[in-house]
Amino acid sequence: MFIKDQLTQVIHQVLLQMGFEVSTQEIHLEQPALPEHGDWSTNIALVLAKRVKMSPVELSSAVAKTVEDDISSFAFAYIKAVKAVSPGFVNFYLYNSWLHQELIELFKQGEHHYAAFDIGKGKAVQVEFISANPTGPLHVGNGWWGCYGDALARLLSRCGWMVSREYYVNDTGGQIRELGASILAAKRGKELPEGGYKGEYISLLAASYDEAAQAEVEGDEAADGQGAITAVEKAGIWAAKRILENIKTTCNRLGIIFDKYYSQREMEQSGALDQSLKDLDKRSLLYRDEGALWFKSSSLGDSRDRVLVKSDGEYTYLAADIAYHRDKFILRGFDRVIDVFGADHHGHVPSLLAGVEALGVQKGSLEVKIGQMVSLVGGIGTKSDADGSNLSATGAAVKMSKREGNVVLLDSLIDEIGIDAVRLLSLLSSIDQAVTLDLDLVKKQSMENPVYYVQYAHARIASIQKFAEVRGHAGLDRVNLNLNTLNVLRHPRELDLIRCLIELPDIIMSAYNELAPFKVTTWVRKLAGCFHGFYHDCRVIGDDVALEITEARLWLTEAVRIGLKIGLELLGVSLPESM
């Protein structure tokens, strides 16, 4: 049991003794920023004051006094002093052994259970992310939200959910025709059609679009029992498949492995869409107007009604998306679904939520996280920018557009700074934050990227542990680890390091609650910082280091290694043994 939980019990017990009806949930403990405010602090007196009609100062003093008077009666031996302080905080000062005890707890639980939770209880959650249209290669923004989605999935998994990662492939509709038209135009050396796609990849694809390719598409379509399709559609379908393969390769490079790439075309061909419409119709939520089929989404929180089937008989994107979510919830039975959208699609959210609600899915089962736009400044790709670098000479932010072909490719960025740097960089700040990425700076700073700071801590630990073996320090004996062994850890650097390390369970909990994996990044950087300080001031192995100090510090080092491992694995960043 963590010290924090034990201390909560103590406070609870005291409050009950004093005759106050409170639940343990109301008792909030935090580690104060300032050392003089103690190891733990609670604001319970401030919260309770009004209810019990006492002044906060009076109440906090009473609580502090009661704790002090009864200190020997608690099954809790770590309290050194308790102080009430204006405007009503109760601060607890503990013996250092409480930190050592936390380390023992960490080892007891081990890397698989420490800071892991069973909130999901094995229920199924699906995280859908990236889902970029297969009309062009992934750009940096896709990668940004992609790393977020993947890290979120890892976080959910650590919190007891059975996670599926999924990519929704919009491989049908007008955009695929436009893609096909662009390919054909490029092949014939004609002007690109209005609204066509312009990137370099179009001409590359066009060059390899031959009769065999056409035959391949025709064969597939015949197998699917579809009717005749136009030359434009053929080219579009073919190109989309090729592009999707390219997208998969890029995702795999980044360590983002989807359980499923879900094809919109296949779903439509399966008749799932019609079934979805029937379900909505059963609830009397559809009506016809001007030849189109409408969804009464305004009755479910949307700002207006939406068209599901156009007057030309084609389905809208929304119709397909509702059917897709029907598939997720009703057919596949996910208990929870989290969609990660770019901010450019957030207008779609109320309609989708209305659709999902209309299908009878419990409210709240679908959560949508909106990734703010990633704007780019500066240039990248020193060799040739032909494959899509955007760069304005002025260095002004350029809006990325697949259609305009001025995207900065995710692959280029990975080539430039590496996988770990991309992952950590994209997980540095909240997804709610619209970030500006200065590509010149990123390139220039690639050697001093924050990721190296963290990885370097790990490499140093690995180095110490190797050296320990060389010097013949026996393996760590976990069974007999006790407070006496760790008691010599008293250096401020050591205590700070432990203090930081043991925040991990709380960090993961709040990262989970807020769907904010970047909190893990922030923590991992802080931990690395504490470790570097410790490394600098506290030698682990050496002729002038006492044996019991070496032993205790080896323990501490191992604990930090576990913490770094948990953190970096959640972020999908590798842990180098040497650098």
Nearer to RNA, 281 or 577 (CB): 577
Write 314-317 long-range contacts (CB < 8 A, 24+).
Answer: 314/173, 315/268, 315/273, 317/170, 317/173, 317/348
Closest CA to 176 of 129, 229, 232, 97: 232
Binding flag, residue 134, RNA (CB under 7 A): no
Residues contacting residue 485 through CB under 8 Å, at least 6 positions apart: 548, 551, 552, 555
* Chosen residue from 249, 252, 433, 487 binding RNA by CB under 7 A: 433
Q: Which of residues 539-578 bind RNA (CB under 7 A)?
A: 539-542, 576-578
* Chosen residue from 54, 307, 419, 481 binding RNA by CB under 7 A: 307
Nearer to RNA, 293 or 358 (CB): 293
Binding flags for RNA, 174-213, as an x/- string (CB under 7 A): xx--------------------------------------
* Chosen residue from 324, 452, 512, 555 binding RNA by CB under 7 A: 452
Binding flag, residue 24, RNA (CB under 7 A): no
Nearer to RNA, 214 or 446 (CB): 446
- Which uninterrupted H or E stretch holds 285? none
Binding flag, residue 22, RNA (CB under 7 A): no
CA distances from 192 to 210, 234, 238 (A): 19, 17, 18
Nearer to RNA, 49 or 163 (CB): 49
Stretch that binds RNA, among 140-148, 153-161, 381-389, 447-455 (CB under 7 A): 447-455
Say which amino acid occupies 368. Answer: V
How far apart, in whole angstroms, are the C-alpha atoms of residue 433 and residue 427? 11
Say which amino acid occupies 133. Answer: N
Minimum gap (Å) between residue 523 Cβ and RNA: 9
Residues contacting residue 158 through CB under 8 Å, at least 6 positions apart: 115, 116, 117, 508, 512, 566, 570
Binding flag, residue 518, RNA (CB under 7 A): yes
- Owner of token pair 């990734």: 371
Q: Which of residues 521-540 bind RNA (CB under 7 A)?
A: 522, 525, 529, 532-533, 535-540
- Residue 544 has which token pair? 């002038």
- Residue 194 has which token pair? 């209005």
Binding flags for RNA, 26-65, as an x/- string (CB under 7 A): --x-x-xxx-xx---x-x--xx-xx-----x---------
Q: Which of residues 379-418 bind RNA (CB under 7 A)?
A: 399
Nearer to RNA, 163 or 196 (CB): 196
Which is it for strands 286-289 and 292-295: parallel, antiparallel or unpaired? antiparallel
Chain center to CA of 473: 39
* Chosen residue from 71, 229, 419, 428 binding RNA by CB under 7 A: 428
Binding flag, residue 456, RNA (CB under 7 A): yes
* Chosen residue from 450, 476, 491, 515 binding RNA by CB under 7 A: 450
Kindly tell me the sign of the dihedral angle through the C-alpha atoms of 424, 430, 434, 436: negative
